[in-house]
């Protein structure tokens, strides 16, 4: 290896590390996977969208087309990655679904259960596997992408916001429980982000392009939507040794929306 290549590898924050990313085919998920691959990690992606994950083709990327609610498959992803690389350093929970702004009168119990299952119950399933491998290793980092809406709600998103509040509380609970094993757990609260999900938050029948400008963009004090790369930068920090004393915290990457 030439010396400038050696230098680059030694500068990489995730060289030889193994990370599992849910929602890897989504807007934020893809940016997170690309960032981690660029920093030398081996990455397993889990998403329902096989084709979106195919865009990430890389010798160190392993896609698993599955639901995050399928406990057996999640168990298999962790065990295969551990068998292959001998380690599980990080879990990034980025999968999720939106709720279109709807008054509670028109939200069914099934709608509520679906949001809570995918955005919150799934975290129990993935974190349980992460703990299984990280605790004996005495290290690891778990990151959950929740939402600034958990602290700064918008009308009509009651079920989504409840799921994201649960995500943050669950992650804090993991942080205290796993601290004695050297495992860290942190939440990221994105503000309105420029991904396919954003238009799904508008009320049914509303003009999503108008909502994007008038509701979402204008609600960010720093004046623009959050880009997936903004989130990927925060994920890299929380996974890396730079954050070795950071646990139980919530990093707002929201352009000031939470203020
Ligand atoms: N976009 C925003 O404005 C915004 C704001 C705050 C928080 N968030 C959160 O950020 C995270 C990433 O969202 P995004 O903006 O990249 O949206 P996205 O829709 O682009 O990505 C979400 C991904 O999750 C996957 N997914 C959904 N259900 C799944 C399941 N059961 N099993 C496996 N995969 C599943 C989808 O296929 C999709 O690829 C989500 O948790 C979201 O709630 C988004």
Please report the atom of ligand 1 found closest to the CA of residue 149. Answer: 6
Count of other CB atoms within 10 angstroms of residue 58: 13
User: In angstroms, what is the C-alpha Rg of the chain?
Assistant: 18
Which structure tokens are listed for 49?
Answer: 């969208």
Please report the atom of ligand 1 found closest to the CA of residue 118. Answer: 31
pLDDT for the residue 233: 98
- The terminus-to-terminus CA distance of the chain in angstroms comes to 49
- 21 closest CA partner among 31, 13, 12: 31
N residues, the chain = 259
Give the chain's domains with CATH numbers: 10-252 (3.40.50.720)
Distance CA(121)–CA(68), nearest Å, equals 9
Q: Is 160 a catalytic residue?
A: yes
Please report the atom of ligand 1 found closest to the CA of residue 93. Answer: 41
Q: Whose CA is nearest to atom 28 of ligand 1?
A: 96
Axis crossing angle, helix 158-178 with helix 109-116, rounded to the nearest 10: 30
pLDDT for the residue 214: 86
Sign of CA dihedral 173, 177, 181, 182: positive
Which structure tokens are listed for 199?
Answer: 């238009």
pLDDT for the residue 2: 54
| pLDDT < 50 regions, the chain | 1
Tracing tokens 């392993």 back to the chain, one arrives at: 62
Catalytic: which of 61, 78, 133, 160? 160
In the chain the beta strands, taken as DSSP E runs, fall at 18-22, 42-47, 61-65, 90-93, 140-145, 183-190, 250-253
pLDDT for the residue 229: 98
Which structure tokens are listed for 162?
Answer: 């409840």
Distance CA(36)–CA(141), nearest Å, equals 14
| Ligand 1 pocket residues where CB is under 6 Å | 23, 25-29, 46-49, 52, 67-69, 94-97, 118, 145, 147, 190, 192-193, 195-198
Distance CA(256)–CA(234), nearest Å, equals 15
pLDDT for the residue 211: 85
Distance CA(152)–CA(41), nearest Å, equals 34
The string of pLDDT tens digits covering residues 226-242 is 999 999 999 999 999 99
């Amino acid at each position: 290896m030439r010396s400038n290549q050696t230098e680059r590898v030694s500068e990489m924050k995730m060289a030889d590390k193994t990370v599992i990313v849910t929602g890897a085919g989504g807007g934020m998920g893809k940016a997170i996977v690309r960032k981690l691959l660029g920093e030398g990690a081996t990455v397993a992606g889990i998403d329902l969208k096989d084709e979106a994950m195919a865009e990430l083709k890389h010798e160190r990327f392993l896609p698993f087309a599955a639901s995050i609610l399928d406990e057996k498959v999640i168990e298999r992803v962790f065990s295969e990655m551990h068998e292959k690389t001998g380690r599980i350093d990080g879990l990034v929970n980025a999968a999720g679904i939106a709720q279109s702004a709807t008054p509670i009168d028109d939200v069914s119990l099934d709608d509520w259960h679906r949001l809570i299952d995918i955005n919150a119950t799934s975290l129990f399933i993935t974190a349980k596997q992460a703990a299984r491998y990280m605790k004996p290793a005495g290290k690891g980092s778990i990151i959950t992408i929740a939402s600034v809406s958990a602290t700064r709600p918008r009308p009509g998103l009651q079920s989504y916001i409840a799921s994201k509040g649960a995500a943050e509380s669950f992650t804090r609970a993991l942080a205290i429980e796993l601290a004695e094993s050297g495992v860290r757990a942190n939440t990221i609260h994105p503000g309105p982000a420029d991904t396919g999900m954003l238009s799904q938050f508008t009320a049914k029948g509303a003009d999503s392009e108008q909502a994007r400008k008038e509701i979402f963009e204008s609600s960010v004090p720093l004046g623009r939507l959050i880009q997936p790369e903004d989130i990927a930068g925060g994920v890299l920090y929380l996974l890396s040794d730079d954050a070795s004393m950071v646990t139980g915290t919530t990093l707002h990457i929201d352009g000031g929306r939470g203020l």
